[in-house]
Structure 1
């Protein structure tokens, strides 16, 4: 009779290890089964911590600021250029001497002309000096719409004023407006129409006259700017510092051909009259 075989201890332990039970129950010699492919040192399975994707930031050029800076530079350059041109133009038009005004005529009426109440027959038309009325025409930038009495206007010239006269038949309303802009509100100037004037516009100061054919002639402004209250021109006007204010005359001006009538303030002649004859010295080039 055959004897029963004893179970092999090694195989029975291994068999237990092969069963579907938990690891380690198959005996002390059983080796734990790794749950990952990487062995004992591998990370456990499942979703692990990952590095976020790197964000690439493209630096944008500040085109708006660049365009604004360029615009500022261009504007500044244009402004500087304009200013330089204006300064050069002003220098070119500036008058430093009476003979720089082409076509101006100079006369020789001495200071202290006689005050009269009778009409005066002047050698120049409009007059630039000689005997005159004791009351002066207001010359505080006054624009008259009547041909003011000439004897009163000459007294204004004696006080340093510039008188702009125009032929109403030779200039337009726009011309009158343009001329008014050189007079209105500027002390030492007056303006009026002048019947029978042999030019479109005539400018008078004591001992000086300029006649032009157009109201936009640049010499008009040159004459007015240089000779208004200019006491530095030799023989220009006798009564430096005298007033141009006569509001009564401005309100009720005497007209050419009117009889002498006391209107507003008066002053006495400074010295005895030296006569009313004048010598024309034209500087026309």
Structure 2
């Protein structure tokens, strides 16, 4: 007897349900998209801004310093209020004690040996006759009355002199002003190391061409530097102890 060919609806339905169910629950699903917010490099931005601000500050400071230096710069001794000018002939050597018209002296006869003036800071009142010879070579000699200046004043002056060729400084006993500056034939006396004229004089007159008798002469004097002659021992011709 032939079998009924009618499809088994229960199987078909079940299979269909299974397939449908498979698509509904057991099939693949696309993972949810993750949205990542872009992070700004705030640290790098802050560092860059700091660098720019610092650079601007440095440039501003440099510009201000240059402008201040330009404002203080002078081209002639006549522009420095209170500076005195004298006429002296160079080349007159005398190893004996010499009486000078100015105190400290600014020119005239002087000892054969010059005081070292290679940016030298002396702590003794050096022999004046030797110092004048240094002026003849183009040096600026800064002197101070040790009874009328402070340690801070001395430090300020030393900073202007120390290591600068054709400059020297020393105490000068009995000086009639707290601070005095000398170059050959020129002098300036001031009350304070902070007086802007101190730097003006030093910058203008240090080895200034045409203002001293022996251009090109050295300021090195190893013998004097090793054992400076002092003012109070001048007549005996002895050196500092």
Q: Which moved more, 1:59-68 or 1:170-179?
A: 59-68
Tell me, in whole angstroms, the C-alpha distance in 1 between the residues paired with 2:152 and 2:14: 105
Cα distance in 1, alignment partners of residues 189 and 147 from structure 2:
15
Q: Does 1:181 align with 2:165?
A: no
Distance in 2 (alpha carbons) for counterparts of 1:69 and 1:255 = 59
- Whole-angstrom distance in 1 between the partners of 2:238 and 2:218: 17
Cα displacement string for residues 15-72 of structure 1 (whole angstroms, at most 9, x for unaligned residues): xxxxxxxxxxx71134533335967984647622122122222222332232222222
Distance 1:47 1:254, change over 3 A: same
**1:213-256 CA deviation, whole Å, 9 max, x = no partner?**
0122222122112211111xx4x100001121221112222222
Between the aligned partners of 2:128 and 2:7, the Cα distance in structure 1 is: 142
1:38/1:119 Cα in 2 relative to 1: closer, same or farther (>3 Å)? same
Q: 1:253 aligns with which of 223, 228, 234?
A: 228
Identify unmatched segments of 5+ residues in structure 1: 1-8, 14-25, 264-285
Q: Deviations over 1:103-139 (max 9, x none)?
A: 1111111333x21233222111111111111221121
Distance 2:139 2:7 in 1: 132
Q: Distance in 2 between matches of 1:80 and 1:244?
A: 37
1:75 counterpart SS class: helix
Question: Of the two structures, which has the highest relative contact order with CA contacts closer than 8 Å and spacing of 6 or more?
Answer: 1
More helix by share: 2
Runs of 5+ consecutive residues of structure 2 not aligned to the other structure:
none
8 Å CA contact 1:36–1:42 kept in 2: the answer is no
> After the TM superposition, which residues 87-98 of structure 1 pair with which residues of structure 2 at under 5 Å, given as runs?
87-98=66-77
What's the RMSD between the two structures over aligned residues?
Answer: 2.6
Superposed CA offset, 1:137-164 (max 9, x none): 1212222222111111111100111111
Match of 1:124 in 2: 102
Q: Among residues 41, 47, 59, which one is paired with 1:62 in the alignment?
A: 41
Q: Which moved more, 1:114-123 or 1:31-40?
A: 31-40
Is it true that 1:79 corresponds to 2:55 in the alignment?
no
After TM superposition, the structure 1 = structure 2 runs for residues 199-218 of structure 1, keeping only pairs within 5 Å, are: 199-218=177-196
Q: Which moved more, 1:30-39 or 1:81-90?
A: 30-39
Q: 1:142 and 1:56 mapped to 2: Cα distance? A: 74
Residue 29 of structure 1 corresponds to which residue in structure 2? Answer: 6
Please state whether the residue corresponding to 2:160 is helix, strand or coil: coil
* Equivalent in the alignment of 1:141: 119
Distance 2:110 2:7 in 1: 146
For residue 179 of structure 1, give the secondary structure of its aligned residue in structure 2: helix
Note the C-alpha offset of 1:94: 2.0
Task: Indicate how the Cα distance of structure 1 residues 200 and 38 shifts in structure 2: closer, same or farther if over 3 A, else same.
Answer: same
Deviation at 1:262, TM superposition (A): 9.6
Paired residues of 1:164 and 1:201 also in contact (CA < 8 A): yes
